[in-house]
Each structure stands twice: as C-alpha cells, then as structure tokens.
Amino acid sequence: MAESLNILVTGTSRGIGASIRAALARHNIVGHSTRGRDGEVAADFSDIAQVTALWWEAMGRLGGHIDVLINNAGMFEETPIEQGDDGWLAGWEKTMQVNLTASAALSRLAVLHFREKGGGRIVNVASRAAYRGDSPRHWHYAASKAGMIGMTKTIARGYAAENILAFAVCPGFTMTGMAEDYLDSRGGAKLLADIPLGRVASAEEVAETVRWLAIDAPPSATGAVIDVNGASFVR
Ligand SMILES: NC(=O)c1ccc[n+]([C@@H]2O[C@H](COP(=O)([O-])OP(=O)(O)OC[C@H]3O[C@@H](n4cnc5c(N)ncnc54)[C@H](OP(=O)(O)O)[C@@H]3O)[C@@H](O)[C@H]2O)c1
C-alpha cells in the first residue's frame, strides 16, 4: 500500500469538506473549521492572521511536514447590488477574503514549504460559477472562484519544475446544506431540469475527484480543472 501523506484540508466540519476528510481517512489529516470542533483547527478566514496561524498549527501537528493542501472552505452569501455602497463593498470584500485571499495565503505558504522539501500538491475546490457566472446577488462568489482557477493555473505553470503540482475541481450544485438553500431560493426542483444527469452531485462524488487529484493524478495533469456538474455546464 502507498505511504500515508500529511494533508491539510480546510472546511472539514460539514458538506464537501467532511466527505473529503472521509475519502482521505487513511492519510494523516489536519482538518479545519471556523469554530474548530472535533479536533479541527479553528480559523475564521475573514481574519488573515488566523489563516496564517492555521498553516503553522497544521505544520506543528504534522511534524513540520505537509504533502498536500486542499483549499475547500468557502462561503456563499448574497450581496445584492441594490443595497448601500458600504454594505455591498463589505459583502464583496468578505467573500473575496474567505474564498480567494485565504486560499492564496495558504497556497503561498504551501509553495514555499514544498520548495524546501522537494514537492507537493495543492487542490483547490472552486465552482462551476468560475466559468458560468452566478446569480446577480453573487458577483463576488463567481469572481472569487474564477480567481481560484487563475491562481491554480499560475501555480501549476510556475512551479511544476520543482515538483509542485496544482489542480482544481469545479462542482456544480452539490447536495450539502449550502446547495439545499440555494436550490430552494432558485425554485427547487425546476433547476434539476438544467442538469442532464437529472440530479445534483453528491458530496462524495466531489470528494472522490479531490482525492484522486491529491493522491493519484499523474503529474502531467498539473493545471487541470475537473468539472463535476452532471454536464449542466460543459466547456
Ligand atoms: N455545495 C455546492 O453546491 C457547491 C458548489 C460549487 C462549489 N462549492 C464549493 O465547495 C466548497 C465546500 O462547499 P460546501 O457546500 O461543502 O460548504 P458548507 O457545507 O457550507 O461548508 C463550508 C465549510 O467552510 C467553512 N467556512 C465557512 N465560512 C468560513 C470562514 N469565514 N472561515 C473559515 N472557514 C469557513 C465552514 O466551517 P464552519 O462549519 O465552522 O462554518 C465549513 O467547514 C466551497 O468552497 C464551495 O464554494 C460548493
């Protein structure tokens, strides 16, 4: 059997992150959530100092050696353009900070560490919204996920020669709390008519894709972005 790897996964308290943790259970995982229950490291990504502290806490728990970083934590909050200037800007900044800047800060620390130790992998959980856009109340969400894709490709191209690989997954609707809220807010079952597969993805399907990229994907696939959306958006 292949060796156990040291892996930091963000947002493991529920949804897709909990399934990623389960899919990688044979490895040494440090999980994370906002409040840090069940042994997860606590870090609120709206505070960049807590993001940096998460990396060093994970390094400590994993004996100073991380092989894989999985940026999964994310938020999906409405910011309608009709609200006041300050409220709109605050909503934009918070989503960009939590979804993109935190992932970038962790990726930077990971690349610096991977350089020292001779390689490593980053898997970013982005979204179909990166390519397709999102609702008028979610400009920031789509922009943050598109930013993740640009970052992933930049890391892949910039550091492949140092055995540092980067991948992204773009889930469509995925059956977690977040997706249920979203489906309800968009008319529920009618949305399913837009998905040729006839159903939303399961968290386990997304997690298996992340697991494969983190562990098994061939190095030549670095920079790849895999869609998991039932062919609701093909590109
Ligand atoms: N579900 C979908 O339909 C879907 C579709 C496309 C992409 N995605 C992406 O997949 C990833 C996981 O989504 P999910 O549906 O599994 O989400 P979820 O069930 O809402 O879980 C979100 C995770 O992120 C953490 N998180 C939320 N706000 C945070 C903050 N301010 N600081 C640090 N951590 C925070 C949560 O921790 P707490 O439990 O402590 O709040 C939780 O562990 C996200 O990046 C999301 O954008 C989801």
pLDDT digits (tens, 9 = 90+) for 34-58: 999 889 999 999 999 999 999 999 9
In a domain, 223, yes or no: yes
Is the predicted pLDDT of residue 170 greater than 60, yes or no?
yes
The β-bridge partners of 168 are: 124, 225
Domain that holds residue 44: 6-228
Tell me the CATH number at 53. 3.40.50.720
Is the predicted pLDDT of residue 185 greater than 80, yes or no?
no
DSSP string, 117-159: HT-EEEEEE--THHHH---TT-HHHHHHHHHHHHHHHHHHHHH
In a domain, 44, yes or no: yes
In a domain, 233, yes or no: no
pLDDT value for 184: 77
24 vs 7: CA distance, rounded Å:
9
Which among 229, 234, 232, 233 is positioned nearest to 193, based on CA atoms?
A: 232
pLDDT above 70 covers a percentage of the chain that reads 97
In a domain, 195, yes or no: yes
Spacing, Cα 75 to ligand 1 middle (Å): 5
Q: Residues with Cβ within 6 A of ligand 1?
A: 11-17, 33-35, 43-46, 72-76, 98, 125, 127, 171, 173-174, 176-179
Is the predicted pLDDT of residue 180 greater than 80, yes or no?
no
| pLDDT tens digits along 102-148 | 999 999 999 999 999 999 999 999 999 999 999 999 999 999 999 99
Asked whether 79 and 88 are in contact (CB, 8 A), the reply is yes
Asked whether 218 and 188 are in contact (CB, 8 A), the reply is no
Q: Of all protein residues, whose CA lies closest to atom 23 belonging to ligand 1? A: 11
Confidence category of residue 191, pLDDT binned at 50, 70, 90: confident
Indicate if 131 belongs to the active site. no
In a domain, 32, yes or no: yes
pLDDT value for 176: 87
In a domain, 235, yes or no: no
- Neighbour tally for 57: CB within 10 Å: 18
Helices (H), the chain: 15-23, 48-61, 85-96, 102-117, 129-132, 139-159, 177-185, 203-211
Say what the pTM is: 0.97
61 vs 82: CA distance, rounded Å:
45
- Split into its structural domains, the chain has a count of 1
In a domain, 162, yes or no: yes
Spacing, Cα 73 to ligand 1 middle (Å): 5
In a domain, 234, yes or no: no
